[in-house]
Amino acid sequence: MMTKTSKGQTAPSTRPPGSAPAPGSSPGSNTASNTAVGVADGASAARKLTQQGHGAIIGLQWGDEGKGQIVDVLTENYDLVVRYNGGANAGHTVQIGDQKFALHLVPSGILNPKAVNVVANGVVVDPAAIRQEMTGLRERGVAVGANLKISDRAHVVLPYHKLQDKLMEKALGADRGGEQMIGTTGRGIGPCYADKAQRGTALRMGDLLTGEELHKKLGHIVSVKNVMLGALAQAVGEAFEPFDAAKLYAEFAEHGRTLREHICDTTELLHSAMEGGRRILFEGANACLLDVDHGTYPFVTSSNCSSLGIYAGAAMPGGKVGTIIGVVKVYTSRVGGGPMPTELKDDLGEQIRKTGNEYGTTTGRPRRCGWLDLLAVRYAAKISGITALACTGLSVLASLPKLKVCVGYRWQGQELKAFPADANVLAQVEPVYQEMEGFGGPVDQCRSQADLPAAARRYLKLIEEYTGVPVVIGCVGRRRDQILWR
């Protein structure tokens, strides 16, 4: 069934059994038309796309799909933009004219003067990092005041979380030649979520405002952390300077005083906004294949980054989110450890990395690059209930004469029907590729999907047919005018 075709036809046989419905059979209840190409007016296309309930934007690969750009272009249709998961491990780049903004904790809606931006309870907040980001935005003329709210229930990342992150990676690095290393961003994300589950060693943003209570809690937590981290540091041969509870108290009480006007009960805020008929956009950080429950565990991050995280991470009852836009880069990138079946370890991978500027926004690390993996994307779209796709990075593939798209996996001589749960299996699968024609030249000047070369349109059609979800947006660059609607 998963045959290689030499010319870029979109053979219907590429849609494996049990996959989403075929094109034209109404893949989602509120999806845009599958056939109408060339809506010239982006604003009305955005309005049409976002009219159903509240909205969400979710990355469908291993991150860095270009979510920030899609959030940015849709925010004017919403009153609030909400981050519900992750922390400063995210790096969302938004380009407005010639100005580039790299956002980590502050929702991308901050660049829209009308939006209220919410860092909800499911996020882990590094107060120093968010303050630095707020200052950087203000220095560039972006207003940050009452338009930024931080949940009092959001957990706090402290310096010992970052040290623990680093020491744990070192400990994993010593095992089996380092193949167990997650390659984290070092932002303390995993240890902070672990403390959230542990409870007795956790702090929430609201705790920063409690004075003596914070002092007491930190005294207890720091004594536990010093014992644990001292032993861990010794085990991996690192020097350890015990944390000083009084110093941490002074530092974090000061963060509390500075952030006080932003810290509030965002659950109440979101629910009264909904009752008042205001519209909410949820901005996913990280991505579906990094989801702690549904991603390539253990090579994942520590939160539910799929749309499933919205419900717990922002106190949002199921059914309220009507438009769930999946962002797919038309090739694959991954940063950190873990399996990536379509990785190109050759010059072609390097060419994609250079053309796509695939270096981390958060850590500057070179990203691993490879062909589009549609089997993985279809799985991600399914678990997130995606109703429309935004395909980014088309211009990066434009100079390649031939393209390949992964449309299946073979493992131990068998074709896999589903995305495997076991990372070791995923590391061993052999991708089944469909070959596609190159686009035949640059696409960055195209201003509608109808302007795209036929081969590029066929490429998008393959994505649509395989996933069963319409491609409503195609991006040929990072600027707002390089977003192609249909």
**Residues interacting with ligand IMO, by CB under 6 A?**
59, 62-64, 89-92, 182-185, 187, 189-190, 285-287, 290, 301-302, 335-336, 361
Specify the residue, 301 or 304, whose C-beta has the smaller distance to ligand IMO. Answer: 301
Q: Which does 301 bind (CB under 5 to 8 A by kind): ligand IMO, Mg ion, none?
A: ligand IMO
Rounded least distance, CB 257 to ligand IMO, Å: 28
**Residue closest to Mg ion when measured from CB atoms:** 91
| 118 in Cβ contact with 310 (< 8 Å) | no
Contacts of 391 (CB under 8 A, 6+ apart): 328, 329, 330, 460, 463, 471, 473, 474, 475
Going by the DSSP 8-state scheme, the letter that residue 319 receives in this structure is T
Phi-psi region of 374 (alpha: psi -120 to 50; beta: other; left: phi over 0): alpha
| 55 in Cβ contact with 321 (< 8 Å) | yes
**Residue closest to ligand IMO when measured from CB atoms:** 336
Rounded least distance, CB 86 to ligand IMO, Å: 6
Point out which span in 62-70, 170-178, 305-313, 375-383 binds Mg ion (CB under 5 A): 62-70
Rounded least distance, CB 182 to ligand IMO, Å: 5
Catalytic residues: 64, 92
Name the strand (E) or helix (H) holding 323.
strand 321-329
Give whole-number Cα distances, 243 to 21, 196, 408, in Å: 56, 20, 50
Subset of 325-364 contacting Mg ion (CB under 5 A): 361
Contacts of 98 (CB under 8 A, 6+ apart): none
Specify the residue, 14 or 361, whose C-beta has the smaller distance to ligand IMO. Answer: 361
Q: Which does 187 bind (CB under 5 to 8 A by kind): Mg ion, ligand IMO, none?
A: ligand IMO
Specify the residue, 36 or 102, whose C-beta has the smaller distance to ligand IMO. Answer: 102
- Among all chains, which residue has been given the structure tokens 């050759």? 346
Give the amino acid at 277: G
Of the candidate residues 91, 122, 356, 453, the single one contacting Mg ion (CB under 5 A) = 91
Specify the residue, 360 or 385, whose C-beta has the smaller distance to Mg ion. Answer: 360
Specify the residue, 66 or 453, whose C-beta has the smaller distance to ligand IMO. Answer: 66
Q: Verify binding: residue 64, Mg ion, rule CB under 5 A.
A: yes
Measured at the alpha carbon of residue 95, what is the angle toward residues 92 and 97, in degrees to the nearest 5? 170
Give whole-number Cα distances, 207 to 78, 86, 253, 286, 408, in Å: 31, 20, 9, 26, 49
Q: Which does 285 bind (CB under 5 to 8 A by kind): ligand IMO, Mg ion, none?
A: ligand IMO
Contacts of 122 (CB under 8 A, 6+ apart): 84, 85, 154, 303, 304, 309, 312, 313, 314
Rounded least distance, CB 380 to ligand IMO, Å: 13
Rounded least distance, CB 105 to Mg ion, Å: 13
Rounded least distance, CB 185 to ligand IMO, Å: 3
Rounded least distance, CB 63 to Mg ion, Å: 5
Spatial distance between the Cα atoms of 168 and 232, rounded to a whole number of angstroms: 8
Q: Read out DSSP for 280-308?
A: EEEE--S-GGG-TTTSSTTSS-SS--STT
| 126 in Cβ contact with 187 (< 8 Å) | yes
Specify the residue, 2 or 285, whose C-beta has the smaller distance to ligand IMO. Answer: 285
Rounded least distance, CB 287 to Mg ion, Å: 9
Give the amino acid at 464: E
Spatial distance between the Cα atoms of 219 and 292, rounded to a whole number of angstroms: 31
Q: Which does 449 bind (CB under 5 to 8 A by kind): Mg ion, ligand IMO, none?
A: none
Q: Which does 436 bind (CB under 5 to 8 A by kind): ligand IMO, Mg ion, none?
A: none
Q: Which does 485 bind (CB under 5 to 8 A by kind): Mg ion, ligand IMO, none?
A: none
Specify the residue, 163 or 285, whose C-beta has the smaller distance to ligand IMO. Answer: 285
Binding mask 175-214 for Mg ion (x = CB under 5 A): ----------------------------------------
Which burial class, exposed, middle or buried, applies to 269 when counting CB atoms under 10 A from its CB (0-12, 13-18, 19+)? middle
Q: Which does 184 bind (CB under 5 to 8 A by kind): Mg ion, ligand IMO, none?
A: ligand IMO
**Beta strands per DSSP E along 168-303:** 263-264, 280-283
Specify the residue, 10 or 362, whose C-beta has the smaller distance to ligand IMO. Answer: 362
Which burial class, exposed, middle or buried, applies to 320 when counting CB atoms under 10 A from its CB (0-12, 13-18, 19+)? middle
Binding residues for Mg ion, per CB under 5 A?
63-64, 91, 361
